[in-house]
C-alpha cells in the first residue's frame, strides 16, 4: 500500500470574528495535498491566509469548517502526535531573548524529551551550519534580526522533524545567510526526505527551492503545481507573471 499525503486539507475554512463587523474569511474552502519529501512553497500577498493555514496544520488554531490531516492524523484530535514530529519556524519569533543561541536550541529540544548530550551534538552541527558558532554563547537579546531568524531555523530543526513549517525563514536575512538557510532546506529534503512547507515573498527563492507551490489569494487557493507547470498553464514567462496575474487579475491568458 502506498503512503498517503503527508498533509491534506478538505474544504478548510477559517473565519475570524464570525458574525461580527470585523469578520474576516482568512481561508475559504482550501483543498490541498502535499507528499513526503516535497518542498512546498505557500505564496500569496499580505493577508492571503498563509500563516493561518500553517497555524491550523499545527493545531494552534481551530478551523471554522473542513478538516486538516498531518502525517495521516486529524490535527484537531492528535495535536500531541503532530507536535512531536512537526516543527515550526514562526513568522513572529518566539525566541528566548535571555538565553544564548545554544541554550535556545538545547532548551527547546529538551521540551521534546531529547537527551542533553544528543541535543548538544545536534546544536554543534546546526550552529555550524547557520554560521553562528562564534556567537553561540552570546545572549540572543543582542542579536540582529537576521541572526535571530537563523537561531529559529536551527531551533526548528533540532527536533529532527519529519515535517517542517517555515513562515518566512529568510525574511530579513542577508544574501549569504538566505543562501545558507536555503541550502539547509534543500539538503533536508533531498538527503533526509523531510517534508518542508515554507512561505516567502521571494519568488526567486521559490524557483530555486520549491518542487511545488500553492498560491493563496484572499483565503482561496487559486493555483497549485510545479512552478514550470504554472508558467505553462498561464502562458507566463516566469513565476512572477503567474503570481501577479492571479493576484491582480491582470495579464493571465490561461484559464
Ligand atoms: N487572530 C486573528 N484575528 C482576526 N483576524 C486575523 C487573525 N489572524 C489573522 N487574521 C486575518 O486573517 C487574514 C489572513 O492573515 P494571515 O496572517 O494568515 O496572512 P498571511 O498570508 O500570513 O500574510 P503575511 O504575508 O502578511 O504574513 C488577514 O486578513 C488577517 O488580518
Ligand atoms: Mg504570514
Give pLDDT tens digits for 62-116: 999 999 999 999 999 999 999 999 999 887 768 999 999 999 999 999 999 999 9
Q: Whose CA is nearest to atom 4 of ligand 1?
A: 16
Q: Is residue 130 part of a domain?
A: yes
| pTM (two decimals) | 0.92
Q: Which three cell numbers, joined as nine digits, stand for 60?
A: 494552534
The two beta strands, 39-43 and 73-74, are unpaired
Contact, 172 vs 96, CB < 8 A? Answer: no
Task: Give the other-Cβ count within 10 Å of 48's Cβ.
Answer: 23
Q: Which residues of 144-172 are buried (b: 16+ CB within 10 A; e: fewer)?
A: eebbbbbbbbbbbbbbbbbbbbbbbbbee
Residue nearest to atom 29 of ligand 1 (CA): 47
The domain spanning residue 57 has which CATH number?
A: 3.40.50.300
Q: What mean pLDDT is predicted for residues 121-148?
A: 93
Beta bridge partners of 224: 214
Within a domain: 212: yes
Taking CA atoms only, the protein residue closest to ligand 1 atom 12 is: 26
What mean pLDDT is predicted for residues 175-181? 87
At 252 the pLDDT is: 55
Q: Is residue 1 part of a domain?
A: no
Taking CA atoms, 202 is separated from 2, 140, 148, 243, in Å, by 34, 26, 19, 11
Identify whether 71 is part of a domain.
yes
Centre of ligand 2 to C-alpha 51, Å, is 4
Q: Is the pLDDT of residue 3 over 80?
A: no
pLDDT at 192: 87
3-state helix, strand, coil in the chain (%, to 5): 40, 25, 35
* pLDDT for the residue 253: 54
End-to-end alpha-carbon separation of the chain, Å?
35
How remote is the CA of residue 52 from the centroid of ligand 2, in Å?
Answer: 7
Q: Scanning the structure block, which residue is given the C-alpha cell 498560491?
A: 215
Indicate the average pLDDT of the chain.
92
| Burial class of residue 74 (count of CB atoms within 10 Å of its CB; 0-12, 13-18, 19+) | middle
The domain total for the chain is 1
Taking the C-alpha atoms of residue 159 and residue 146, their distance in angstroms, rounded to an integer, is 22
Any domain includes 50:
yes
The answer to whether position 253 is within a domain reads no
Does residue 86 belong to any structural domain of this protein? yes
Q: 2 lies in a domain?
A: no
Give the three-state DSSP class for 158. coil
- Stretch (H or E) spanning 123: helix 116-129
Q: Could you tell me the distance, in angstroms and rounded to a whole number, from the CA of residue 46 to the centre of ligand 1?
A: 8
User: What are the distances in angstroms from CA 145 to CA 7, 73, 87, 197?
Assistant: 31, 35, 21, 22
Question: In terms of residue numbers, what domain contains 158?
Answer: 7-248
Q: Which residues line ligand 1 (CB under 6 A)?
A: 16-17, 24, 26, 44, 46-52, 91
CA atoms within 13 A on the CB side of 75: 25
Please, which residues have CB within 8 angstroms of residue 230's CB and are 6 or more apart in sequence?
A: 213, 215, 223, 236, 239, 242
Amino acid at each position: 500500500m502506498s503512503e498517503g499525503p503527508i498533509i491534506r486539507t478538505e474544504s478548510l475554512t477559517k473565519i475570524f470574528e464570525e458574525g461580527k463587523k470585523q469578520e474576516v474569511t482568512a481561508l475559504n474552502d482550501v483543498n490541498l495535498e502535499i507528499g513526503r519529501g516535497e518542498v512546498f512553497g505557500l505564496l500569496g500577498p499580505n493577508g492571503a491566509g498563509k500563516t493561518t493555514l500553517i497555524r491550523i496544520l499545527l493545531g494552534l488554531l481551530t478551523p471554522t469548517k473542513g478538516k486538516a490531516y498531518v502525517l495521516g492524523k486529524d490535527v484537531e484530535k492528535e495535536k500531541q502526535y503532530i507536535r512531536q514530529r512537526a516543527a515550526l519556524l514562526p513568522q513572529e519569533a518566539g525566541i528566548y531573548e535571555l538565553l544564548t543561541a545554544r541554550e535556545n536550541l538545547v532548551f527547546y529540544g529538551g521540551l521534546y524529551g531529547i537527551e542533553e548530550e544528543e541535543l548538544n551534538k545536534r546544536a554543534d552541527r546546526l550552529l555550524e551550519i547557520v554560521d553562528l558558532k562564534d556567537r553561540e554563547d552570546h545572549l540572543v537579546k543582542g542579536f540582529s534580526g537576521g541572526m535571530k531568524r537563523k537561531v529559529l531555523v536551527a531551533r526548528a530543526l533540532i527536533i529532527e522533524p519529519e515535517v517542517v513549517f517555515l513562515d518566512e525563514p529568510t525574511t530579513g536575512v542577508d544574501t549569504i545567510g538566505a543562501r545558507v538557510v536555503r541550502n539547509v532546506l534543500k539538503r533536508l529534503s533531498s538527503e533526509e526526505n523531510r517534508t518542508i512547507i515554507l512561505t516567502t515573498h521571494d519568488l526567486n527563492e521559490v524557483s530555486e527551492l520549491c518542487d511545488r507551490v500553492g498560491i493563496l489569494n484572499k483565503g482561496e487557493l487559486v493555483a497549485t503545481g510545479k512552478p514550470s507547470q504554472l508558467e505553462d498553464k498561464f502562458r507566463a514567462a516566469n513565476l512572477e507573471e503567474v503570481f501577479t496575474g492571479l493576484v491582480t487579475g491582470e495579464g493571465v491568458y490561461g484559464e
